[in-house]
Structure 1
Amino acid sequence: MAFGTSTRAGLVGLGIMGAPIARRLRQKGVPLTVWNLEPERFAEVEASGAVWADSPAEVWRASEVVFTCVLGDDAIESVCLGDLGFARAEGASLLVDLSTTSPEATEKVGAGLAEATGAAWIDAPMSGGPQAGEEGNLTLMIGGEEEACQRVMPLLELLSPNITRMGDLGAGQKTKIVNQAIVGANYVLMAEILAVMRAAGMDPSLLPGALKGGMADSTILQRIYTQMAAEDFDPPRSYARQLSKDLKSVAKFVEGLGLDLPVMQTGVHQYRDWAEAGNGMEDGASVARLYEKG
Protein backbone atom coordinates (compact mmCIF):
# COMPACT_ATOMS: atom_id res chain seq x y z
CA MET A 1 0.00 0.00 0.00
CA ALA A 2 1.30 3.45 -0.92
CA PHE A 3 2.32 5.89 1.78
CA GLY A 4 0.34 9.13 1.97
CA THR A 5 0.03 12.26 4.06
CA SER A 6 -1.36 10.29 7.01
CA THR A 7 1.72 8.04 7.09
CA ARG A 8 3.82 8.35 10.24
CA ALA A 9 7.15 9.64 8.94
CA GLY A 10 10.51 10.30 10.53
CA LEU A 11 13.39 12.54 9.53
CA VAL A 12 16.96 12.39 10.81
CA GLY A 13 19.09 15.43 10.01
CA LEU A 14 17.91 19.04 10.46
CA GLY A 15 20.68 20.88 8.65
CA ILE A 16 20.49 23.41 5.82
CA MET A 17 18.36 21.01 3.75
CA GLY A 18 16.78 18.80 6.39
CA ALA A 19 15.02 21.59 8.27
CA PRO A 20 13.15 23.00 5.25
CA ILE A 21 12.20 19.48 4.17
CA ALA A 22 10.80 18.83 7.65
CA ARG A 23 8.74 22.01 7.47
CA ARG A 24 7.49 21.06 4.00
CA LEU A 25 6.30 17.65 5.16
CA ARG A 26 4.55 19.18 8.14
CA GLN A 27 2.96 21.87 5.96
CA LYS A 28 1.42 19.04 3.93
CA GLY A 29 0.07 17.41 7.08
CA VAL A 30 2.51 14.51 7.38
CA PRO A 31 2.96 13.37 11.03
CA LEU A 32 6.70 13.77 11.62
CA THR A 33 9.18 12.65 14.28
CA VAL A 34 12.69 14.10 14.03
CA TRP A 35 16.19 13.83 15.48
CA ASN A 36 19.41 15.75 14.91
CA LEU A 37 22.90 15.36 16.32
CA GLU A 38 22.78 18.97 17.55
CA PRO A 39 19.46 19.16 19.45
CA GLU A 40 19.34 22.95 19.22
CA ARG A 41 18.44 22.62 15.52
CA PHE A 42 15.01 21.36 16.57
CA ALA A 43 14.05 24.98 17.24
CA GLU A 44 13.95 25.51 13.46
CA VAL A 45 11.10 23.02 13.01
CA GLU A 46 9.36 22.91 16.40
CA ALA A 47 6.68 25.43 15.42
CA SER A 48 5.71 23.22 12.47
CA GLY A 49 4.43 20.55 14.85
CA ALA A 50 7.25 18.07 14.37
CA VAL A 51 7.93 15.84 17.39
CA TRP A 52 11.43 15.42 18.86
CA ALA A 53 12.90 11.95 19.49
CA ASP A 54 15.92 11.23 21.67
CA SER A 55 17.74 9.00 19.17
CA PRO A 56 17.59 7.69 15.59
CA ALA A 57 16.26 4.42 17.04
CA GLU A 58 13.33 6.31 18.58
CA VAL A 59 12.58 7.94 15.24
CA TRP A 60 12.56 4.51 13.60
CA ARG A 61 10.28 3.10 16.29
CA ALA A 62 7.77 5.93 15.88
CA SER A 63 7.62 5.83 12.07
CA GLU A 64 6.42 3.84 9.09
CA VAL A 65 8.91 5.49 6.73
CA VAL A 66 12.07 7.41 7.67
CA PHE A 67 13.93 10.06 5.68
CA THR A 68 17.61 10.78 6.31
CA CYS A 69 19.42 13.98 5.38
CA VAL A 70 22.91 13.72 6.89
CA LEU A 71 26.49 14.60 6.02
CA GLY A 72 28.22 11.70 4.32
CA ASP A 73 29.09 8.05 4.67
CA ASP A 74 30.08 7.99 8.35
CA ALA A 75 26.90 9.78 9.40
CA ILE A 76 24.56 7.50 7.46
CA GLU A 77 26.28 4.41 8.85
CA SER A 78 26.03 5.78 12.40
CA VAL A 79 22.33 6.66 12.29
CA CYS A 80 21.46 3.34 10.64
CA LEU A 81 23.77 0.80 12.27
CA GLY A 82 25.26 2.58 15.31
CA ASP A 83 24.52 1.91 18.97
CA LEU A 84 21.46 4.19 18.89
CA GLY A 85 20.69 3.60 15.23
CA PHE A 86 17.70 2.34 13.31
CA ALA A 87 18.91 -1.27 13.41
CA ARG A 88 18.37 -1.27 17.20
CA ALA A 89 14.60 -0.81 16.93
CA GLU A 90 11.51 -2.25 15.31
CA GLY A 91 9.34 0.14 13.38
CA ALA A 92 9.70 1.58 9.90
CA SER A 93 9.64 -0.62 6.81
CA LEU A 94 11.33 1.81 4.41
CA LEU A 95 14.22 4.27 4.52
CA VAL A 96 14.58 7.11 2.03
CA ASP A 97 18.09 8.54 2.11
CA LEU A 98 18.10 12.11 0.81
CA SER A 99 21.78 12.52 1.72
CA THR A 100 24.64 12.56 -0.75
CA THR A 101 26.77 9.52 0.07
CA SER A 102 28.96 7.13 -1.89
CA PRO A 103 27.32 4.30 -3.84
CA GLU A 104 29.50 1.89 -1.87
CA ALA A 105 28.20 3.16 1.48
CA THR A 106 24.63 3.03 0.21
CA GLU A 107 24.96 -0.60 -0.81
CA LYS A 108 26.83 -1.62 2.35
CA VAL A 109 24.63 0.17 4.89
CA GLY A 110 21.49 -0.67 2.95
CA ALA A 111 22.35 -4.37 3.14
CA GLY A 112 23.11 -4.07 6.87
CA LEU A 113 19.82 -2.34 7.61
CA ALA A 114 17.87 -4.88 5.55
CA GLU A 115 19.52 -7.73 7.44
CA ALA A 116 18.74 -6.15 10.82
CA THR A 117 15.21 -4.88 10.18
CA GLY A 118 14.00 -6.18 6.83
CA ALA A 119 13.48 -2.59 5.67
CA ALA A 120 13.81 -1.53 2.05
CA TRP A 121 16.15 1.34 1.13
CA ILE A 122 15.78 4.04 -1.50
CA ASP A 123 18.70 6.33 -2.22
CA ALA A 124 17.15 9.65 -3.25
CA PRO A 125 19.85 12.35 -3.33
CA MET A 126 18.51 15.77 -4.20
CA SER A 127 19.44 18.79 -6.21
CA GLY A 128 18.17 22.24 -5.36
CA GLY A 129 18.62 24.41 -2.31
CA PRO A 130 16.86 25.26 0.94
CA GLN A 131 14.19 27.32 -0.80
CA ALA A 132 13.43 24.44 -3.18
CA GLY A 133 13.16 22.15 -0.17
CA GLU A 134 10.75 24.54 1.53
CA GLU A 135 8.59 24.88 -1.58
CA GLY A 136 8.64 21.26 -2.74
CA ASN A 137 10.68 22.03 -5.86
CA LEU A 138 13.65 19.72 -5.38
CA THR A 139 14.96 17.39 -8.07
CA LEU A 140 15.27 13.78 -6.89
CA MET A 141 17.29 11.04 -8.59
CA ILE A 142 16.37 7.76 -6.96
CA GLY A 143 17.58 4.19 -6.82
CA GLY A 144 15.90 1.15 -5.32
CA GLU A 145 13.40 -1.59 -5.94
CA GLU A 146 10.54 -0.52 -8.18
CA GLU A 147 7.87 -1.55 -5.67
CA ALA A 148 9.47 0.41 -2.84
CA CYS A 149 9.85 3.49 -5.03
CA GLN A 150 6.20 3.37 -6.04
CA ARG A 151 5.11 2.88 -2.43
CA VAL A 152 6.76 6.08 -1.24
CA MET A 153 6.14 8.12 -4.40
CA PRO A 154 3.18 10.13 -2.97
CA LEU A 155 5.47 11.45 -0.23
CA LEU A 156 8.37 12.11 -2.60
CA GLU A 157 6.02 14.12 -4.80
CA LEU A 158 5.45 16.48 -1.87
CA LEU A 159 9.15 17.33 -2.12
CA SER A 160 9.75 17.26 -5.85
CA PRO A 161 8.00 17.66 -9.22
CA ASN A 162 10.97 15.98 -10.94
CA ILE A 163 11.64 12.43 -9.76
CA THR A 164 13.52 9.92 -11.89
CA ARG A 165 14.18 6.32 -10.90
CA MET A 166 17.67 5.68 -12.27
CA GLY A 167 17.86 1.97 -11.41
CA ASP A 168 18.44 -0.27 -8.42
CA LEU A 169 20.02 0.60 -5.07
CA GLY A 170 22.97 2.97 -5.54
CA ALA A 171 21.86 4.31 -8.93
CA GLY A 172 20.58 7.52 -7.37
CA GLN A 173 23.94 8.20 -5.73
CA LYS A 174 25.82 7.51 -8.97
CA THR A 175 23.60 10.04 -10.72
CA LYS A 176 24.22 12.56 -7.94
CA ILE A 177 27.96 12.14 -8.47
CA VAL A 178 27.47 13.18 -12.10
CA ASN A 179 25.32 16.10 -10.93
CA GLN A 180 27.97 17.27 -8.48
CA ALA A 181 30.71 17.00 -11.09
CA ILE A 182 28.71 19.36 -13.30
CA VAL A 183 27.96 21.69 -10.39
CA GLY A 184 31.52 21.78 -9.01
CA ALA A 185 33.16 22.43 -12.36
CA ASN A 186 30.60 25.13 -13.14
CA TYR A 187 31.05 26.90 -9.80
CA VAL A 188 34.72 27.29 -10.68
CA LEU A 189 33.87 28.31 -14.25
CA MET A 190 31.45 30.99 -13.00
CA ALA A 191 34.14 32.32 -10.66
CA GLU A 192 36.57 32.54 -13.58
CA ILE A 193 34.02 34.23 -15.84
CA LEU A 194 33.38 36.80 -13.10
CA ALA A 195 37.13 37.46 -12.95
CA VAL A 196 37.16 37.95 -16.74
CA MET A 197 34.27 40.42 -16.61
CA ARG A 198 35.95 42.47 -13.90
CA ALA A 199 39.36 42.42 -15.56
CA ALA A 200 37.80 43.56 -18.85
CA GLY A 201 36.17 46.53 -17.14
CA MET A 202 32.64 45.28 -17.83
CA ASP A 203 29.62 45.31 -15.52
CA PRO A 204 29.37 41.72 -14.22
CA SER A 205 25.72 42.14 -13.25
CA LEU A 206 24.66 42.49 -16.91
CA LEU A 207 25.92 39.09 -18.03
CA PRO A 208 23.05 36.82 -16.86
CA GLY A 209 20.50 39.00 -18.68
CA ALA A 210 22.65 39.19 -21.80
CA LEU A 211 23.00 35.40 -22.03
CA LYS A 212 19.49 34.48 -20.87
CA GLY A 213 17.84 32.00 -23.22
CA GLY A 214 21.01 31.43 -25.25
CA MET A 215 23.25 28.38 -25.43
CA ALA A 216 25.41 29.60 -22.53
CA ASP A 217 22.46 30.11 -20.18
CA SER A 218 22.02 27.86 -17.15
CA THR A 219 20.58 27.81 -13.65
CA ILE A 220 24.11 28.14 -12.30
CA LEU A 221 24.70 31.25 -14.40
CA GLN A 222 21.43 32.84 -13.32
CA ARG A 223 21.67 31.96 -9.64
CA ILE A 224 25.26 31.23 -8.61
CA TYR A 225 27.10 33.67 -10.90
CA THR A 226 24.63 36.38 -9.85
CA GLN A 227 25.32 35.57 -6.21
CA MET A 228 29.07 35.70 -6.85
CA ALA A 229 28.84 39.04 -8.68
CA ALA A 230 26.88 40.53 -5.77
CA GLU A 231 29.30 38.98 -3.24
CA ASP A 232 26.20 37.71 -1.45
CA PHE A 233 27.70 34.98 0.71
CA ASP A 234 26.20 35.64 4.18
CA PRO A 235 24.39 33.81 5.56
CA PRO A 236 25.58 30.71 3.66
CA ARG A 237 23.00 29.04 1.42
CA SER A 238 25.22 25.97 1.36
CA TYR A 239 28.61 25.13 2.83
CA ALA A 240 31.74 24.79 0.74
CA ARG A 241 32.73 21.75 2.80
CA GLN A 242 29.64 19.89 1.58
CA LEU A 243 30.39 20.35 -2.12
CA SER A 244 34.06 19.65 -1.44
CA LYS A 245 33.10 16.35 0.19
CA ASP A 246 30.92 15.48 -2.78
CA LEU A 247 33.74 16.31 -5.17
CA LYS A 248 35.99 13.83 -3.40
CA SER A 249 33.40 11.21 -4.31
CA VAL A 250 33.47 12.47 -7.90
CA ALA A 251 37.25 12.05 -8.06
CA LYS A 252 37.08 8.56 -6.56
CA PHE A 253 34.27 7.50 -8.88
CA VAL A 254 36.04 8.74 -12.01
CA GLU A 255 39.29 7.09 -10.93
CA GLY A 256 37.45 3.81 -10.39
CA LEU A 257 36.12 3.97 -13.94
CA GLY A 258 39.64 4.39 -15.30
CA LEU A 259 38.77 7.63 -17.07
CA ASP A 260 41.01 10.63 -17.71
CA LEU A 261 38.78 13.71 -17.69
CA PRO A 262 41.05 16.76 -17.44
CA VAL A 263 38.40 19.50 -17.62
CA MET A 264 36.24 17.96 -14.92
CA GLN A 265 39.19 17.00 -12.76
CA THR A 266 40.76 20.47 -12.92
CA GLY A 267 37.54 22.12 -11.77
CA VAL A 268 37.04 19.55 -9.03
CA HIS A 269 40.56 20.02 -7.67
CA GLN A 270 40.35 23.82 -7.83
CA TYR A 271 37.17 23.85 -5.76
CA ARG A 272 38.45 21.34 -3.24
CA ASP A 273 41.67 23.33 -2.77
CA TRP A 274 39.59 26.43 -1.97
CA ALA A 275 37.31 24.68 0.51
CA GLU A 276 40.14 22.90 2.29
CA ALA A 277 42.14 26.12 2.73
CA GLY A 278 40.04 27.08 5.74
CA ASN A 279 36.90 28.00 3.80
CA GLY A 280 34.76 24.94 4.46
CA MET A 281 32.06 26.79 6.41
CA GLU A 282 31.82 29.60 3.86
CA ASP A 283 29.05 29.74 1.28
CA GLY A 284 29.62 27.34 -1.60
CA ALA A 285 29.71 30.23 -4.08
CA SER A 286 32.48 31.99 -2.17
CA VAL A 287 35.02 30.18 -4.36
CA ALA A 288 34.78 33.39 -6.41
CA ARG A 289 37.10 34.96 -3.83
CA LEU A 290 39.85 32.68 -5.07
CA TYR A 291 40.16 34.94 -8.11
CA GLU A 292 40.11 38.29 -6.34
CA LYS A 293 43.17 40.44 -6.89
CA GLY A 294 45.06 42.17 -4.13
Structure 2
Amino acid sequence: MKIGFCGLGRMGMPMVRRLLQAGHQVSVWNRTPGPAQQLAAEGALVCDTPQALGQSCSLVALCLFDAAAVESVVFGPAGLASADGLTLLVDHSSIPPADTRQFSERLQQANGATWLDAPVSGGTGGAAAGTLAVMVGGPADACLTITPALMAYAQRVTHMGPVGAGQVTKLCNQTIVTTTIAALAEAVSLARDAGVDAARLPQALAGGWADSTLLPLFVPRMLQPDTPVHASLDTMLKDMDTVAALARQQGTAMPVAATVGQGLRLASRKGLGAGDASGLIRLYDHISEHSTNS
Protein backbone atom coordinates (compact mmCIF):
# COMPACT_ATOMS: atom_id res chain seq x y z
CA MET A 1 0.00 0.00 0.00
CA LYS A 2 0.98 3.65 -0.40
CA ILE A 3 1.02 5.12 3.09
CA GLY A 4 1.91 8.51 4.57
CA PHE A 5 3.22 8.82 8.12
CA CYS A 6 3.58 11.95 10.31
CA GLY A 7 5.51 11.84 13.59
CA LEU A 8 8.85 10.04 13.75
CA GLY A 9 9.50 9.83 17.46
CA ARG A 10 10.31 6.81 19.64
CA MET A 11 7.23 4.98 18.38
CA GLY A 12 6.89 6.39 14.86
CA MET A 13 10.38 5.46 13.68
CA PRO A 14 10.12 1.70 14.30
CA MET A 15 6.53 1.68 13.00
CA VAL A 16 7.63 3.18 9.68
CA ARG A 17 10.52 0.73 9.49
CA ARG A 18 8.06 -2.15 9.89
CA LEU A 19 5.91 -0.72 7.07
CA LEU A 20 8.95 -0.47 4.81
CA GLN A 21 10.04 -4.01 5.67
CA ALA A 22 6.53 -5.23 4.81
CA GLY A 23 6.93 -3.80 1.31
CA HIS A 24 4.71 -0.74 1.60
CA GLN A 25 5.62 2.52 -0.13
CA VAL A 26 5.92 5.01 2.72
CA SER A 27 6.12 8.80 2.56
CA VAL A 28 7.03 10.63 5.77
CA TRP A 29 6.91 14.08 7.32
CA ASN A 30 8.37 15.15 10.64
CA ARG A 31 8.65 18.51 12.35
CA THR A 32 12.42 18.08 12.64
CA PRO A 33 14.11 16.76 9.47
CA GLY A 34 16.71 14.43 11.01
CA PRO A 35 14.53 11.34 11.54
CA ALA A 36 12.90 11.76 8.11
CA GLN A 37 16.30 11.89 6.41
CA GLN A 38 17.35 8.78 8.31
CA LEU A 39 14.30 6.92 7.03
CA ALA A 40 14.89 8.26 3.52
CA ALA A 41 18.14 6.31 3.52
CA GLU A 42 16.05 3.23 4.28
CA GLY A 43 13.60 3.73 1.43
CA ALA A 44 11.03 6.25 2.64
CA LEU A 45 10.04 9.31 0.61
CA VAL A 46 10.25 12.65 2.44
CA CYS A 47 7.57 15.34 2.04
CA ASP A 48 8.08 19.00 2.91
CA THR A 49 4.66 19.54 4.55
CA PRO A 50 1.77 17.46 5.87
CA GLN A 51 -0.32 18.85 3.00
CA ALA A 52 2.16 17.53 0.45
CA LEU A 53 2.06 14.17 2.23
CA GLY A 54 -1.73 14.10 2.05
CA GLN A 55 -1.71 15.06 -1.63
CA SER A 56 0.47 12.07 -2.49
CA CYS A 57 -1.05 9.52 -0.08
CA SER A 58 -4.77 8.86 0.38
CA LEU A 59 -3.97 7.03 3.64
CA VAL A 60 -1.99 8.88 6.31
CA ALA A 61 -1.09 7.76 9.84
CA LEU A 62 -0.15 10.05 12.72
CA CYS A 63 1.90 9.27 15.82
CA LEU A 64 2.21 12.56 17.71
CA PHE A 65 2.63 13.61 21.35
CA ASP A 66 -0.65 15.32 22.20
CA ALA A 67 -3.85 16.92 20.90
CA ALA A 68 -2.13 20.25 20.21
CA ALA A 69 0.40 18.55 17.94
CA VAL A 70 -2.35 16.61 16.15
CA GLU A 71 -4.41 19.76 15.60
CA SER A 72 -1.39 21.62 14.25
CA VAL A 73 -0.40 18.88 11.80
CA VAL A 74 -3.94 18.30 10.55
CA PHE A 75 -5.49 21.77 10.62
CA GLY A 76 -2.53 24.16 10.73
CA PRO A 77 -0.95 25.95 7.75
CA ALA A 78 -0.15 23.41 5.00
CA GLY A 79 -1.88 20.79 7.13
CA LEU A 80 -3.41 17.49 6.13
CA ALA A 81 -6.94 18.93 6.08
CA SER A 82 -5.98 21.06 3.09
CA ALA A 83 -4.93 18.00 1.07
CA ASP A 84 -7.54 16.93 -1.47
CA GLY A 85 -5.94 13.50 -1.88
CA LEU A 86 -6.44 12.42 1.72
CA THR A 87 -9.34 10.00 2.26
CA LEU A 88 -8.40 8.13 5.47
CA LEU A 89 -6.51 9.40 8.51
CA VAL A 90 -5.35 6.94 11.17
CA ASP A 91 -4.31 8.62 14.41
CA HIS A 92 -2.02 6.52 16.60
CA SER A 93 -1.55 9.41 19.04
CA SER A 94 -2.98 9.24 22.56
CA ILE A 95 -5.30 12.25 22.94
CA PRO A 96 -8.63 12.99 24.68
CA PRO A 97 -11.67 11.29 23.16
CA ALA A 98 -13.57 14.61 22.96
CA ASP A 99 -10.74 16.16 20.90
CA THR A 100 -10.75 13.12 18.64
CA ARG A 101 -14.47 13.46 17.95
CA GLN A 102 -14.12 17.18 17.27
CA PHE A 103 -11.15 16.66 14.95
CA SER A 104 -13.04 13.95 13.09
CA GLU A 105 -15.95 16.30 12.39
CA ARG A 106 -13.63 19.11 11.32
CA LEU A 107 -11.72 16.85 8.92
CA GLN A 108 -14.94 15.52 7.43
CA GLN A 109 -16.13 19.07 6.80
CA ALA A 110 -12.75 20.18 5.42
CA ASN A 111 -12.16 17.50 2.79
CA GLY A 112 -14.49 14.57 3.46
CA ALA A 113 -11.78 12.29 4.84
CA THR A 114 -12.54 9.61 7.44
CA TRP A 115 -10.87 9.69 10.87
CA LEU A 116 -9.88 6.55 12.76
CA ASP A 117 -8.48 6.92 16.27
CA ALA A 118 -6.10 4.00 16.64
CA PRO A 119 -3.84 4.40 19.69
CA VAL A 120 -1.37 1.62 20.36
CA SER A 121 0.06 -0.26 23.32
CA GLY A 122 3.26 -2.27 23.55
CA GLY A 123 5.96 0.37 23.75
CA THR A 124 8.97 0.87 21.52
CA GLY A 125 9.90 -2.80 21.80
CA GLY A 126 6.48 -3.81 20.53
CA ALA A 127 6.72 -1.35 17.66
CA ALA A 128 10.10 -2.74 16.60
CA ALA A 129 8.96 -6.35 16.94
CA GLY A 130 5.60 -5.82 15.24
CA THR A 131 3.62 -6.90 18.31
CA LEU A 132 1.63 -3.75 19.14
CA ALA A 133 -2.01 -3.88 20.21
CA VAL A 134 -4.09 -1.36 18.24
CA MET A 135 -7.49 -0.23 19.54
CA VAL A 136 -9.61 1.48 16.90
CA GLY A 137 -12.54 3.88 16.96
CA GLY A 138 -14.41 4.89 13.81
CA PRO A 139 -16.28 3.21 10.96
CA ALA A 140 -15.90 -0.57 11.04
CA ASP A 141 -15.40 -0.84 7.27
CA ALA A 142 -12.54 1.68 7.40
CA CYS A 143 -10.93 -0.32 10.21
CA LEU A 144 -11.22 -3.47 8.11
CA THR A 145 -9.62 -1.68 5.15
CA ILE A 146 -6.60 -0.48 7.11
CA THR A 147 -6.01 -3.62 9.19
CA PRO A 148 -3.67 -5.37 6.67
CA ALA A 149 -1.34 -2.35 6.74
CA LEU A 150 -1.49 -2.04 10.53
CA MET A 151 -0.44 -5.68 10.88
CA ALA A 152 3.03 -4.61 9.76
CA TYR A 153 3.60 -3.43 13.34
CA ALA A 154 0.68 -4.96 15.24
CA GLN A 155 -0.19 -8.42 16.44
CA ARG A 156 -3.80 -7.43 17.10
CA VAL A 157 -6.21 -4.79 15.78
CA THR A 158 -9.52 -4.46 17.63
CA HIS A 159 -12.43 -2.30 16.50
CA MET A 160 -13.92 -0.80 19.69
CA GLY A 161 -16.79 1.31 18.35
CA PRO A 162 -17.38 4.79 16.93
CA VAL A 163 -14.84 7.62 16.77
CA GLY A 164 -13.34 8.20 20.23
CA ALA A 165 -13.80 4.59 21.41
CA GLY A 166 -10.18 3.78 20.59
CA GLN A 167 -8.98 6.65 22.76
CA VAL A 168 -11.21 5.58 25.66
CA THR A 169 -9.78 2.07 25.37
CA LYS A 170 -6.25 3.48 25.45
CA LEU A 171 -7.10 5.38 28.63
CA CYS A 172 -8.26 2.11 30.18
CA ASN A 173 -4.95 0.61 29.06
CA GLN A 174 -2.96 3.44 30.58
CA THR A 175 -4.89 3.20 33.83
CA ILE A 176 -3.94 -0.46 34.17
CA VAL A 177 -0.34 0.04 33.01
CA THR A 178 0.43 3.08 35.15
CA THR A 179 -1.14 1.77 38.35
CA THR A 180 0.72 -1.51 37.83
CA ILE A 181 4.03 0.31 37.41
CA ALA A 182 3.34 2.23 40.61
CA ALA A 183 2.54 -1.02 42.43
CA LEU A 184 5.76 -2.57 41.13
CA ALA A 185 7.75 0.43 42.37
CA GLU A 186 6.24 0.04 45.83
CA ALA A 187 6.89 -3.71 45.84
CA VAL A 188 10.53 -3.22 44.79
CA SER A 189 10.95 -0.59 47.50
CA LEU A 190 9.36 -2.89 50.08
CA ALA A 191 11.68 -5.77 49.15
CA ARG A 192 14.81 -3.62 49.23
CA ASP A 193 13.96 -2.04 52.59
CA ALA A 194 13.44 -5.55 53.98
CA GLY A 195 16.83 -6.69 52.70
CA VAL A 196 15.37 -9.00 50.04
CA ASP A 197 16.92 -9.15 46.55
CA ALA A 198 14.27 -7.34 44.49
CA ALA A 199 15.88 -8.54 41.24
CA ARG A 200 14.50 -12.02 42.02
CA LEU A 201 10.89 -10.87 42.24
CA PRO A 202 10.02 -11.63 38.58
CA GLN A 203 11.33 -15.18 38.95
CA ALA A 204 9.63 -15.73 42.30
CA LEU A 205 6.26 -14.38 41.18
CA ALA A 206 6.19 -15.86 37.67
CA GLY A 207 3.02 -17.85 37.08
CA GLY A 208 1.30 -16.49 40.19
CA TRP A 209 -1.45 -13.90 40.41
CA ALA A 210 1.09 -11.07 40.62
CA ASP A 211 2.69 -12.07 37.31
CA SER A 212 2.19 -9.75 34.33
CA THR A 213 3.84 -8.57 31.14
CA LEU A 214 5.16 -5.58 33.06
CA LEU A 215 6.74 -7.50 35.97
CA PRO A 216 9.81 -8.90 34.14
CA LEU A 217 10.16 -5.70 32.09
CA PHE A 218 9.98 -3.03 34.76
CA VAL A 219 11.62 -4.58 37.81
CA PRO A 220 15.03 -4.80 36.04
CA ARG A 221 14.57 -1.25 34.69
CA MET A 222 13.82 0.02 38.19
CA LEU A 223 17.01 -1.58 39.49
CA GLN A 224 19.25 -0.08 36.79
CA PRO A 225 20.76 3.35 37.57
CA ASP A 226 20.53 4.63 33.97
CA THR A 227 17.57 3.10 32.17
CA PRO A 228 17.08 4.07 28.51
CA VAL A 229 13.83 5.93 27.91
CA HIS A 230 11.19 3.66 26.43
CA ALA A 231 8.18 5.72 27.52
CA SER A 232 8.74 8.86 29.55
CA LEU A 233 7.20 9.48 32.94
CA ASP A 234 5.76 12.75 31.64
CA THR A 235 4.00 10.87 28.83
CA MET A 236 2.37 8.65 31.44
CA LEU A 237 1.40 11.77 33.41
CA LYS A 238 -0.17 13.32 30.30
CA ASP A 239 -2.32 10.24 29.78
CA MET A 240 -3.32 10.00 33.44
CA ASP A 241 -4.36 13.65 33.38
CA THR A 242 -6.61 12.72 30.44
CA VAL A 243 -7.98 9.78 32.43
CA ALA A 244 -8.75 12.11 35.34
CA ALA A 245 -10.47 14.64 33.09
CA LEU A 246 -12.69 11.98 31.50
CA ALA A 247 -13.50 10.48 34.90
CA ARG A 248 -14.57 13.88 36.24
CA GLN A 249 -16.70 14.53 33.16
CA GLN A 250 -18.47 11.17 33.51
CA GLY A 251 -18.58 11.03 37.29
CA THR A 252 -16.46 7.87 37.31
CA ALA A 253 -14.87 7.10 40.69
CA MET A 254 -11.16 6.27 40.22
CA PRO A 255 -9.41 6.65 43.59
CA VAL A 256 -6.43 4.41 42.74
CA ALA A 257 -5.75 6.12 39.41
CA ALA A 258 -6.07 9.54 41.05
CA THR A 259 -3.48 8.65 43.70
CA VAL A 260 -1.07 7.26 41.11
CA GLY A 261 -1.54 10.37 38.97
CA GLN A 262 -0.49 12.58 41.86
CA GLY A 263 2.54 10.37 42.43
CA LEU A 264 3.53 10.87 38.79
CA ARG A 265 3.08 14.62 39.18
CA LEU A 266 5.29 14.65 42.28
CA ALA A 267 7.95 12.62 40.46
CA SER A 268 7.81 15.06 37.54
CA ARG A 269 8.20 18.01 39.92
CA LYS A 270 11.32 16.31 41.27
CA GLY A 271 12.88 16.35 37.79
CA LEU A 272 12.14 12.76 36.81
CA GLY A 273 9.64 13.52 34.04
CA ALA A 274 11.93 13.20 31.01
CA GLY A 275 13.24 9.83 32.17
CA ASP A 276 11.77 6.39 31.67
CA ALA A 277 8.50 5.59 33.46
CA SER A 278 10.41 3.05 35.55
CA GLY A 279 12.05 6.07 37.19
CA LEU A 280 8.96 6.31 39.39
CA ILE A 281 10.99 4.11 41.76
CA ARG A 282 13.22 7.15 42.38
CA LEU A 283 10.27 8.81 44.06
CA TYR A 284 10.30 6.07 46.68
CA ASP A 285 14.07 6.46 47.01
CA HIS A 286 13.49 10.13 47.85
CA ILE A 287 10.85 9.21 50.41
CA SER A 288 13.06 6.56 51.97
CA GLU A 289 16.02 8.94 52.15
CA HIS A 290 13.87 11.65 53.74
CA SER A 291 12.50 9.19 56.31
CA THR A 292 15.99 7.96 57.15
CA ASN A 293 17.43 11.44 57.48
CA SER A 294 14.61 12.65 59.70
Q: What is the alpha-carbon distance in structure 1 between the residues aligned to residue 274 and residue 38 of structure 2?
A: 19
Larger deviation: 277-286 or 104-113?
Answer: 277-286
For residue 260 of structure 1, what is the aligned residue in structure 2? 253
How far is 1:81 from its partner?
Answer: 0.8
1:190 aligns with one of 184, 193, 216: 184
1:99 aligns with one of 81, 86, 93: 93
How far is 1:237 from its partner?
Answer: 1.3
The runs of 4+ residues in structure 1 deviating greater than 4 Å are none
Partner SS for 1:48: coil
Summarize the alignment of residues 153-192 of structure 1 with structure 2, pairs less than 5 Å apart.
153-192=147-186
The answer to whether the 8 A contact 2:37-2:46 is kept is no
TM-score, normalization by structure 2: 0.94
Q: What is the alpha-carbon distance in structure 1 between the residues aligned to residue 200 and residue 272 of structure 2?
A: 28
Larger deviation: 17-26 or 278-287?
Answer: 278-287
1:210 aligns with one of 199, 204, 207: 204
Q: Which 5+ residue runs of structure 1 have no aligned equivalent?
A: 1-6
2:27 aligns with one of 33, 49, 52: 33
Q: What is the alpha-carbon distance in structure 2 between the residues aligned to residue 163 and residue 232 of structure 1?
A: 34
TM-score, normalization by structure 1: 0.94
CA separation of 1:202 and 1:164: change in aligned 2, threshold 3 A: same
Residue 228 (structure 1) aligned with residue 228 (structure 2): no
Q: What is the alpha-carbon distance in structure 1 between the residues aligned to residue 269 and residue 94 of structure 2?
A: 19
Partner SS for 2:229: coil
Higher relative contact order (CA 8 A, sep 6+): 1
Larger deviation: 134-143 or 257-266?
Answer: 257-266
Equivalent residue letter for 2:3: A
The answer to whether the 8 A contact 2:50-2:80 is kept is yes
2:125 aligns with one of 131, 153, 161: 131
For residue 18 of structure 1, what is the aligned residue in structure 2? 12
Partner SS for 2:27: strand
Equivalent residue letter for 1:67: A
How far is 1:232 from its partner?
Answer: 4.6
Partner SS for 1:154: helix
Residue 282 (structure 1) aligned with residue 259 (structure 2): no
Percent identity reads 37
The answer to whether the 8 A contact 1:20-1:133 is kept is yes
